Structure 1
Amino acid sequence: MRIRAILFAFLALIIASGQAMAEVSLVMVEEKGCIWCARWNEEIAPIYPKTQAGKTAPLRRIDIRADVPSDLHFERSLRFTPTFVLMQDGQEISRIEGYPGEDFFWGVLEKMMFDAKLMQPPNGS
């Protein structure tokens, strides 16, 4: 009987810790015909899921002309494509509007994730 109580408590702890974890995603707002979206898709999309950022904040795509999904709440309207919005539990944390290139994208995304304490800076700095 005591073992059953311990197992039940352990299971409850596992379930509770899973519920406490925030759902994080990177929402890409795009539209058909957007050349900068196409460039991002060519340069970043294939490697994004393999990176630490991609594992921490999986990519979710929405069309700028579609209704905003009810589980997402943006701080302000979406006007440009591509726009990349870092979301935690459906709430906007920060965003990148536009795509001026690979180096800019990675640098800004990493800073956004460091600021949100979703990733640690290199060497713990």
Structure 2
Amino acid sequence: MYKFRNLLAAIGLTIAGTPLWAADLVMVEQAGCEWCARWNKEIGDIYPLSAEGRFAPLKRVDLRAIPADLELSRRVVFTPTFIVVEDGREIGRIEGYPGEHFFWPVLEKLLIEQTSFQPPVPGSS
């Protein structure tokens, strides 16, 4: 159900000069992480096509190479950890990945509560 619900989402505008960490979903991962691999298999290909993916494009970061300019509220311990960032600052996170039926609604709720994200209305084009 969640896999294809956002394929017709509105296309976001790209503005020249937008900061590196404008509104992104940062996936903190590491080699050998089986839950990262599961996310990649179940969500990875469709995420950029979703309304959430258009609003908060995915940026991948290795657990041992988190950029210094990314302002985190606390240390990342688990992989995968999904961090919603705006203007270089963490505004929310999801730790772990127990499956796509958990991921989509939790991410949507996080984006609605912490950003200007508005999910598409079902049946509208």
For the aligned pair, the TM-score class normalised by the smaller chain equals 0.7 to 0.9
Q: CA deviation at 1:116?
A: 1.5
Q: How does 1:102-121 map to 2 (within 5 A)?
A: 102-121=100-119
Cα shift readout 1:84-123 (whole Å, capped 9, x = no counterpart): 0000001000000000000100010000000023322565
Q: How does 1:6-17 map to 2 (within 5 A)?
A: none
Distance 1:23 1:47 in 2: 21
Q: Report percent identity of matched pairs.
A: 54
Q: CA deviation at 1:57?
A: 0.4
Cα shift readout 1:16-57 (whole Å, capped 9, x = no counterpart): x97799810000000000000000000000000001100110
* Bigger Rg, which one: 1
Q: How does 1:1-125 map to 2 (within 5 A)?
A: 23-66=22-65, 68-121=66-119
Give the structure-2-normalised TM-score: 0.77
Cα RMSD of the aligned pairs, angstroms, is 2.0
Q: CA deviation at 1:60?
A: 0.4
The answer for unaligned runs of 5 or more in structure 1 is 1-16
Decide whether the 8 Å contact of 2:51 with 2:120 is kept in 1: no
- Figure out how many residues of one structure are paired with residues of the other and give that number: 106
Q: Which structure carries more helix by proportion? A: 1
Decide whether the 8 Å contact of 1:56 with 1:118 is kept in 2: no
Runs of 4+ in 1 over 4 A off after TM superposition: 17-22
